[in-house]
Chains A and B, each alone.
Chain A
Amino acid sequence: MAIERDKITGRNTTGHEWDGIKELDTPIPGSVKWSYGITIIIAIALIALYPAFPYFSGFTPGLLGYSSRAIVEQQVADAASERAERDKVLMASDINDLVTDSAVKEKYEAAAAILYRDNCAVCHQPDLQGKTGFPNLTDGHWLWSGNVEEIETTILYGINSGNDDERIAEMLDFGKQQMLERPEIKDVIEYIRSISGQEHNIKMSDRGDEIFTENCESCHGEQGVGGLESGAPSLVDSAWIYGSDGGALFKSIWSGRVGQMPAWEGRLSKADIRKLALYVKWQSHAGSQ
């Protein structure tokens, strides 16, 4: 054990020696020591300033009162009031006037298209032409009249959506509930094909006419022209939600159909829903009032 002074570096050795190899006792550089100390001070400061540790009845809130929730709620509220200001005209006017106002269309069509793409296109498709089970919005055939006010109501509260103000429409399961026998259903199918101008068996469709009058007319209207207040589709046009072939029609009559449109109230703002209603109306070329 002999601590000696190294001539070249001017440092002492540790005093250990292994086979003639000695070790210099060089301290940690001051800059490293200081940065270490500073990081500890910064850490303590951050703990004091921001929410940090959980404890028995909550967590340490920090001196700055920082809350990411409060910040985002403020940002969202600011954006909402900014939008409300911008969309004031939209909410203050009658939607029936807005739909024919070309200035409104010019101002909102592009924004509404984005809203549509983000929220509606997965079902009704980007071209608004729908898919099997998801109605076409461009063909001028409407379940609930196609009036822009009615379209807005449908978007707000949905159809069979579970919302308190939902529209309710149900195609009964005539087969399952044994209200109609299998051959009777086949006859009705032929009748439906006849009134919608498709190939059909005349004898069967004549029989189906009577069954249709007794069972289907109360919703689908006389001769199947549809009931705009009941959501029962017209059966005389070329628009079919679930398909017009025998198999699809049989399934509809046998096990019923309960189509669902979600309610967007609460998920989108009232102004955004109004933009979507206008957009749908603008895009439905043939749109019947």
Chain B
Amino acid sequence: MSTRHQKLERHSIAFTLMILVVASIGGIVEIAPLFTIENTVEKVEGMRPYTPLEQAGRDIYVREGCYACHSQMIRTLRSDVDRYGAYSLAAESMFDHPFQWGSKRTGPDLARIGGKYSDAWHVAHLKAPRELVPGSVMPGYAFLATQRLKAERLPSLLNALAKTGVPYSGEHIEQAAQDAYRQADEEANDEDLLIERYGENVNVRDFDGDPNLVSEMDALVSYLQMMGTLVADDDRPGEKVLQ
């Protein structure tokens, strides 16, 4: 029976240092590469930070717990791609804080819901899901249509996101509340300023069909209608899926 370890065990400081070295190997191997994980996110055309209205909609999505039943990640499985469309790219959730990935679904995946149905359908369905989809277990969210969107909160929301690395500039943050109205209020002016800041692929219209109020419904539907539409099929890396 070897007794060499007894010598090591009797030099307490040296032994502590040796334990530290051995334990840190695990850390170096498992954690250090993660500092470069951003390099594995492919660069694709079209991704842009969410507009203030979409971001507000995203916050409502998280607040109401939509993620408990809906995922936003089309996996690289044939069944997923057949049902929901092209698989999700890492870049497509690069501005998500927190991301909405998952594979536990009670309702369908929403990663490519944008443009699949009309605004009017989304509004009617959110108000009373079972009116349109008999047998649905989704709760109704009719109150969103009457709740005013608190746009005054948006600059500080964008500011917080800018600190986590979302590329919002001072101008984006300063104009956040006005930009939300520019997107959802048909009577607002200077929509071109919003387009200039966020690009051509922004939906500008009254989403909830109530021109008198920029509501939380406007924000949520604008978010849903944007989802999965930013990266055009032609800009995806790899082969095209649908022919």
Contacts and interface: CB of A to CB of B under 8 A. Distances in A.
B76 A123 contact: no
Contacts of A260: 118-120
Contacts of B116: 262, 267
B16 interface: no
A124 to B, nearest CB: 10
B211 A72 contact: no
Nearest to B78: A75
Contacts of B37: 54
Interface stretch (B168-176, B191-199, B213-221, B235-243): B235-243
Given A71-B76, A266-B233, A123 B82 contact: no
B39 A56 contact: yes
A21 interface: no
Contact of B238 (A54, A58, A73, A125): A73
Interface stretch (B49-57, B94-102, B131-139, B155-163): B131-139
A89 interface: no
A122 B133 contact: yes
A69 interface: yes
Interface string A153-176: 000000001100000000000000
A261 interface: yes
Contacts of B233: 266
Interface in B120-136: 120-121, 124-125, 131-134
A72 B77 contact: yes
A53 B82 contact: no
B81 interface: yes
Given A58-B39, A73-B238, A75-B78, A261 B132 contact: no
Interface string A263-288: 10011010000000000000000000
Contacts of A54: 33-34, 36-37, 39-40
A57 B40 CA distance: 8
A255 interface: yes
Contacts of A140: none
Contacts of B115: 161-162, 262-263
A105 B151 CA distance: 54
Contacts of B81: 72, 76
A50 interface: no
Contacts of A45: none
A2 interface: no
A136 to B, nearest CB: 14
B: interface residue count bin: 35 or more
Contacts of B82: 76, 79
Interface string B32-64: 011011011000000000000000000000000
A204 B192 CA distance: 45
Given A54-B39, A56-B39, A267 B134 contact: no
A134 interface: yes
Interface in B60-117: 76-78, 81-83, 85, 87, 115-117
A194 B239 CA distance: 58
Nearest to B121: A123
Interface string A57-74: 111000000001111110
Given A122-B117, A123-B118, A260-B119, A56 B36 contact: yes
A55 interface: yes
B78 A76 contact: yes
A147 B32 CA distance: 63
Interface of B: 1, 3, 33-34, 36-37, 39-40, 76-78, 81-83, 85, 87, 115-121, 124-125, 131-134, 211, 233, 238-239, 241-243
18 contacts: A25-B1, A54-B36, A54-B39, A55-B33, A58-B40, A69-B238, A70-B238, A73-B238, A73-B239, A75-B78, A76-B78, A79-B82, A123-B118, A123-B132, A260-B119, A260-B120, A266-B233, A267-B242
What are the 5 closest A-B residue pairs judged by CB atoms, nearest first? A260-B118, A68-B76, A75-B78, A72-B76, A53-B33
Given A73-B241, A269-B243, 6 more contacts: A54-B37, A75-B78, A122-B121, A122-B132, A133-B124, A266-B242
